[in-house]
Chains A and B, each alone.
Chain A
Amino acid sequence: MNQTNYSEQAKALAQLVESKKPDADRITRLDHLDRILAHPILGIVIFAAIMFVIFTISQVFVGPTISDLMVLGMDYVAQAIEQLLIALNTSDFLSALVLEGMIGGLAAVMGFLPLIMVLFFLLQLLEDSGYMARVALMMDRYFKKIGLAGRSIIPMYVGTACSIPAVMAARTIKNDRQRMLTVMLTPFVPCGAKLPVIALFVSVFFAQHVYLTALIYILAIGVIFISGLLIKYLLDAKIADDGSQFMIIELPQYKLPSLKLAFHVMLEQAWDFTRKAATLIVLMNTIVWMMSHFDFGLNVVDNPAQSMLYSVSLPFAWLMIPLGFGVWGLAAAAIAGFVAKEEIIGALAIIFVFSIHDDFSISSIDATRTALTSVAGLTSVSAFSYMAFNLFTPPCFAAIGAMHAELKSRKWTSFAVIFQLIVGYVMAMWIYQIGTLLVYRTVGEGFVVSIVLTVALVIGVIAFKQRYTLKVSHG
């Protein structure tokens, strides 16, 4: 009897409910758009073009215009503080500490805030439109070749803002191998902290070639691929592959991006940057300034070559001779960059820019160019090498800590850090040596050393592979 009731109820419902199946065979205009935007080759070209446009707008047109206004404002405030210090009969030493160490270094970094704000505004528009999901799909086929998941693009996209949440975002990747590789490779993506470094060097040395800013990100993708292949070659026997390299991702509908959301994200990024600059960067700038004006006996020195900073950074400067920037000040700035990459700007300003100013003023592009070329002795090639070194060596200590938290192994963290150091060092070395040969038709400093190091690297990679394979095969 119950079955009869159910049958009657089912018939009654069938008359009331209209089921409509989606027409899966129908190709919409958006499908046509996806076929173009996610095309294996055309998609890459379109992605590169879009990123070029974004970087050109943020780094060439809108960003620098707002930045100039901001620098004018900061210059006004700094000069007001200078007048106040004079009125208080403050000593020259203390005035220099405040104006150069604390305010000047901070202002040098804050000058790049507008560029970052505009960039993240545009990137948020791009993401909100639904396009970035297509980029993830497109990159999947390429990432598989180096043992990564297509999902790895998501941490790498997050890495354009900061490497720490990017490394932590790798936690969503279930495959152990893919997750480890993603954690090791994501820091190669230029984060928001590295952007001021890129912007500074491109504006000073490559003002006529502003496309280099976008090229840096393309170069980073290339570094990721080559590094991924190298790690796969070195450790393939160790990291087991359970074959789960598929990616399932929802492609959202294309839509007009929300200006309100993009504005909110931009302000959030600006606040994060400002908070970091006003705390960590000010502290680091003060430390750098103090170390460049005191010797180990805590005596004030007029000649920076007698300072603590000189003594500490000189050995590192020797190591950087084959890279084209064997200058203590550049080495000091690079070391300071391991606390925060923005600190490179502040340290360069303190060590080089303010040293050539008789009257204090916020550094301008011309003053920075003079400082980095005449005082630091950088050429275009060595400047690009310095930029590559700072971009592709390990990011800040906090990011290294995040890598350790995700890798959960000191051995793998050490491997990742050493690997990144070697990649950054070798890349900078090759850029300088090959660039000097091609551009200046001469050999660079430390050419013989660079040849020896390259040969040693190749031998080391082969030896590591053989030893590691032997170790694994013997259990």
Chain B
Amino acid sequence: MGNLLVFSIVLIILYKIVHYLYQQVLTRGTLCTSCTSCVLSTSSTNQPDWLRQYRENNIVEKGAL
């Protein structure tokens, strides 16, 4: 029971991390989580076309992103 509980918590934590990093890649166009006020977040020029299209089709934009 303890193993199952710990394993579940580990999986949830890792899923949350992967999901967060995935969102960062979609937002910034690259795997970078360094800066709070990121120029990449507000600039779509650095993103490849397929990523820009995916964002337009699937992601609900917040604010100016």
Among the 9-residue stretches A7-15, A116-124, A228-236, A397-405, the one with 4 or more Cβ atoms under 8 Å from chain B is A397-405
Known: A164-B34, A397-B31. A283 touches B39 (CB 8 A): no
Contact among B6, B32, B45 for A85, CB-based, below 8 A: B6
B46 touches A90 (CB 8 A): no
Could you say which residues of chain A place their CB within 8 Å of the CB of B6?
85, 88, 90, 94-95, 98
Could you say which residues of chain A place their CB within 8 Å of the CB of B29?
401
**What is the CA–CA distance of A265 and B29 in the complex, to the nearest angstrom?**
25
A276 touches B46 (CB 8 A): no
B17 touches A89 (CB 8 A): no
Known: A85-B6, A90-B2, A90-B6. A283 touches B35 (CB 8 A): no
B53 on the interface (CB 8 Å rule)? no
**What is the CA–CA distance of A405 and B45 in the complex, to the nearest angstrom?**
8
B33 touches A279 (CB 8 A): yes
Which residue, of A193, A398, A402, has the highest number of chain B Cβ atoms within 10 A?
A: A398
B30 touches A398 (CB 8 A): yes
**What is the CA–CA distance of A282 and B39 in the complex, to the nearest angstrom?**
25
**What is the CA–CA distance of A275 and B36 in the complex, to the nearest angstrom?**
9
**What is the CA–CA distance of A396 and B46 in the complex, to the nearest angstrom?**
17
Contact among B2, B18, B40, B46 for A283, CB-based, below 8 A: B18
B3 touches A165 (CB 8 A): no
B34 touches A276 (CB 8 A): yes
B37: nearest residue on chain A (CB-CB)? A268
Could you tell me the dominant secondary structure of chain A's interface residues?
Answer: helix
B3 touches A279 (CB 8 A): no
How close is B47's CB to chain A, nearest CB, in angstroms?
9
**What is the CA–CA distance of A282 and B5 in the complex, to the nearest angstrom?**
19
A97 on the interface (CB 8 Å rule)? yes
B residues 9-52 with Cβ under 8 Å of A?
Answer: 10, 13-14, 17-18, 20-21, 29-36, 38-40, 45-46
**What is the CA–CA distance of A396 and B45 in the complex, to the nearest angstrom?**
20
A176 on the interface (CB 8 Å rule)? no
Interface residue count for A (Cβ, 8 Å)? 33
Known: A102-B10, A283-B21, A405-B46. A396 touches B3 (CB 8 A): no
A279 touches B17 (CB 8 A): yes
How close is A269's CB to chain B, nearest CB, in angstroms?
9
B3 touches A271 (CB 8 A): no
Could you say which residues of chain B place their CB within 8 Å of the CB of A90?
2-3, 6
A residues 45-84 with Cβ under 8 Å of B?
Answer: none
**What is the CA–CA distance of A164 and B41 in the complex, to the nearest angstrom?**
12
Give the size range of B's interface with the partner: 20 to 34
Known: A94-B3, A402-B30. A162 touches B10 (CB 8 A): no
**What is the CA–CA distance of A396 and B32 in the complex, to the nearest angstrom?**
9
Could you say which residues of chain B place their CB within 8 Å of the CB of A286?
14
How close is A190's CB to chain B, nearest CB, in angstroms?
15
A280 on the interface (CB 8 Å rule)? yes
Could you say which residues of chain A place their CB within 8 Å of the CB of B30?
164, 397-398, 401-402
A168 on the interface (CB 8 Å rule)? yes
A405: nearest residue on chain B (CB-CB)? B46
Could you say which residues of chain B place their CB within 8 Å of the CB of A275?
33
A283: nearest residue on chain B (CB-CB)? B17
Contact among A85, A87, A398 for B31, CB-based, below 8 A: A398
**What is the CA–CA distance of A272 and B37 in the complex, to the nearest angstrom?**
10
B33 touches A280 (CB 8 A): yes
Could you say which residues of chain B place their CB within 8 Å of the CB of A405?
45-46
Could you say which residues of chain A place their CB within 8 Å of the CB of B45?
405
Contact among A88, A91, A272, A339 for B34, CB-based, below 8 A: A272
B34 touches A94 (CB 8 A): no
Q: Please list the residues of chain B having a beta carbon within 8 angstroms of any beta carbon in chain A.
A: 1-3, 5-7, 10, 13-14, 17-18, 20-21, 29-36, 38-40, 45-46
Q: Give me 14 A-to-B residue pairs in the complex whose CB atoms sit less than 8 angstroms apart, sorted by A's number.
A: A85-B2, A87-B2, A88-B1, A95-B6, A102-B13, A165-B39, A271-B36, A272-B33, A272-B35, A279-B21, A280-B33, A401-B32, A401-B46, A402-B40
Beyond contacts A272-B33, A275-B33: 17 other A-B pairs, Cβ-Cβ < 8 A, are A88-B1, A89-B2, A97-B10, A98-B10, A165-B38, A168-B40, A271-B36, A272-B34, A272-B35, A272-B36, A279-B20, A280-B17, A283-B17, A286-B14, A396-B32, A398-B32, A405-B45
